[in-house]
Structure formats: C-alpha cells, structure tokens
Amino acid sequence: MFKKCPSCETKNIAIVTAAMLQRKTGSRDFYRKTDGWLDPDLAESFPKASAFDSFITVENDDNPNIIVCRDCHAWTRIEN
C-alpha cells in the first residue's frame, strides 16, 4: 500500500479525498489533475495517517483518495 509521499518519500502524510480538498479550496484540480501542491497551512492541517489507517473506501472514481504530504505539501491522487 502506498504509504509515503512520492515526491519527498516522507511518511508524514495525510489521506484525504478529492471532495474534502475541493470543499477546503474551492478548486476542482483534485479531480482534473493527478498531483499538485497545497497551501502549507492547509496541508499541515490534516491529521497524520498512522500505519494502521487504510484508505478511505470509495465505490467509484467520483471521489478519489488523495495523499497529502505534510512535509513538502505535495498532493497525489491515488488511482483506484
């Protein structure tokens, strides 16, 4: 399972959903693009995922899971 930031390889990540990020930012980039950068304050506001967390289960591609890096502030969409 994908448990680190693909950009800087830290495990200091949060797992959120595209819908959650759209609500916080007003942007639809989380559906249109596969990766990008978040505002540092927003990226660090999400709780760190623990080794025991699993991805938020989704039944379709309408609300993909996204890894947010709390160190470099990159986001990466997880293709289901």
Q: Residue 70 has which token pair?
A: 């709390």
| CB nearer Zn ion, residue 53 or residue 71 | 71
Q: Could you tell me the smallest distance in angstroms from the CB atom of residue 59 to Zn ion?
A: 28
User: Does 69 participate in binding Zn ion (rule CB under 5 A)?
Assistant: yes
User: Does 48 participate in binding Zn ion (rule CB under 5 A)?
Assistant: no
In the region spanning residues 5 to 34, those forming contacts with Zn ion, defined by CB under 5 A, are 5, 7-8
DSSP string, 14-75: EEEEHHHHHHHH---HHHH-SEEE--HHHHHHSPPPPTT--PPP-SSTTS-EEEEETTT-EE
Alpha carbons 73 and 59: distance in angstroms, whole number? 27
Number of residues that bind Zn ion (CB under 5 A): 7
The residues that touch Zn ion, with contacts defined as CB under 5 A, are: 5, 7-8, 69, 71-72, 74
